Amino acid sequence: MMKTSASRVGWLFLFLLVLASSWAREVSITILSTTDLHGHILADKPTEPGGLARCATLIRQTRATEKNVLLVDAGDTIQGTAESWLSGGQVMVRALNALRYDAWVLGNHEFDWGLEKLTNCIARAEMPVLAANLSGLARVQPFVMREVDGVKVAIVGLTTPGIPNWSRPRLIPGLQFADSVETLRKVLPAAREGGAQVFVLVVHQGYKEGGDDHANQIRAIAERFPELSVIIGGHTHRDFNGFRVSGVLYNQAGFHGQRVGRVDLVFDTEQGKVTSRQSRTVEADASVAADEAVVALAREDLDRAEKYLATPLGEAADAFPTRGGPKRETPVHDLLCGAIAGALERRGVKVDAVVHGLLNARETLAKGPVTVRDVWRIVPYENTVGVARLTLAQLREILDEDAGTYDKHEFRGVWGLRWRFDPRSAEGSRVLELRRGNGAAVEEGERLAVAFNSYELASGGLKWKKLRELADLPETKLVEYDVSTREALMEEIRQKRVVTPQIEGWWQAEDFHRRGRKPVAQ
């Protein structure tokens, strides 16, 4: 009797062992991603890679061959093209909905048009909108849980904490942006309590070889949270595949839909962990056909944008080169600054000066007809204009800070004042001379009305901290206007009908500290 019982126990044990082994299995999970689409349904040129419509083809192909596929977007999705701008971003939201994205993480450029347009996009998004380190915006959540073949995957989203350093408070009223690490210390345990077995972090931040900064905290995140299965990044418009940061897998798929990110994970249900992880990016080049369904749903917006961009504005009497810009004064710079001053004057505001740079130093204006498309190339962002009333001492501080960026693309020239400076001098002593446009001296006690764009008034990502500090003082009486720099330039060309390239000689950089070199004439 005892022998029979022992035998039965043995068979039962063997049966349970076989049953347990049948339960233990490996689950493959594929995560596809796009980032920094910037409103691109199509590529900038048919021969170049890019466009969400081509990405859609790669996405559908992967879904046809892989069982468990998740799809996420890492932000800067709606701003950047005329078709998206004219639709208030809705054309991009409709495309994300059609492709059944599992999550959309907000990027900094999502806030460029203000909260009304953004909240309209969020309201129509059929996927969860994520940004765990953002508070104050309805329907935005920290993470979403997806069950994939019995495995619970937490998709956690972070936007960049640098947004307040690019966007003026009027664009982001009532919003708070928290540190990434502090946010994850709270959010990851909450996801774990919800049963998460795999942690996918999607961030509108990018890895930088020189280290983290105010807007990108990838190194700190990877070092402090090794439990992350993968970090999917964005923001910096770079391509990373097969890359690791402090041992954590990192994937980033370029920009404008030029690539689709792909991460392949294997989760072992017996060990209760990810046992394999790989990543790569797949190019959406001209050999990849645009998805017909995505193109069809965007057709009306694409046609409207094409008609808008082809609208004639006037004529350029000659070419407007940008050679040597931004540190050398160029006809494009002077045209843009004069346009800002003109737009303000037509609204009853007369300024003494404009401080502005070349938003795209590679883009020139050709001789002949000028269309809206030409202006969009020169002014790719929807920055607005603000006017601060500054003392001579305050303006000298701002221009001293600016002169320190002379050898970088951040340098901003002046218009309306005669400015002589030495970029190699010590901080605080770079401005050598500052006079009115007619050569007259500026008295210490008087205030000058100076126009800047909204990006720089927000500090331009901490590049112009002194500008923001001084412009925000109550006594400068900063006023921000709902006129964009692009609108100002279009108005100027329409008003004049024919624009002629010219250089006024507003600034002169000198360098007496290196081998006796002569001043650089501007």
pLDDT digits (tens, 9 = 90+) for 497-511: 999 999 999 999 996
**pTM of the model as a whole:** 0.92
| pLDDT per position as a tens digit, 172-202 | 999 999 999 999 999 999 999 999 999 999 9
- Percent of the chain predicted with pLDDT > 70: 93
% the chain with pLDDT above 90: 90
Is the model's pLDDT at 19 over the cut of 50? no
CATH number of 312-509: 3.90.780.10
pLDDT for 4 beyond 80:
no
Distance CA 513, CA 1 (A): 104
For residue 48, name the pLDDT band (cuts at 50, 70, 90): very high
Please report which confidence band the pLDDT of residue 6 belongs to, taking 50, 70 and 90 as the band edges.
low
Q: Is the pLDDT of residue 2 over 50?
A: no
Task: Give the pLDDT score at 106.
Answer: 98
* Each residue's pLDDT tens digit, 462-481: 999 999 999 999 999 999 99
Rounded to an integer, the average pLDDT of 58-73 is 98
Place 7 in a pLDDT band, splitting at 50, 70 and 90. low
CATH number of the domain located at residue range(s) 24-305 in this protein:
3.60.21.10
* Per-residue confidence (pLDDT) for residue 10, from 0 to 100: 55
- At residue 12, what is the residue type? L
Per-residue pLDDT of 122-178, as tens digits, reads 999 999 999 999 999 999 999 999 999 999 999 999 999 999 999 999 999 999 999
List, in sequence order, every beta strand (DSSP E) within 140-222: 140-141, 143-148, 151-158, 176-177, 198-203
SS3 assignment for 207-274: CCCCCCCCCCCHHHHHHHCCCCCEEEECCCCCEEEEEEECCEEEEEECCCCCEEEEEEEEEECCCCEE
Q: What is the pLDDT of residue 362?
A: 82
Q: In this model, does residue 207 exceed pLDDT 90?
A: yes
Model confidence at 453, pLDDT cuts 50, 70, 90, reads: very high
Q: What single letter denotes the amino acid at residue 148?
A: V
Give the residue extent of every domain in the chain: 24-305, 312-509
pLDDT tens-digit map of 214-232: 999 999 999 999 999 999 9
Average pLDDT of the residues in 382-390: 98
Check if the beta carbon of residue 32 is closer than 8 Å to that of residue 69.
yes
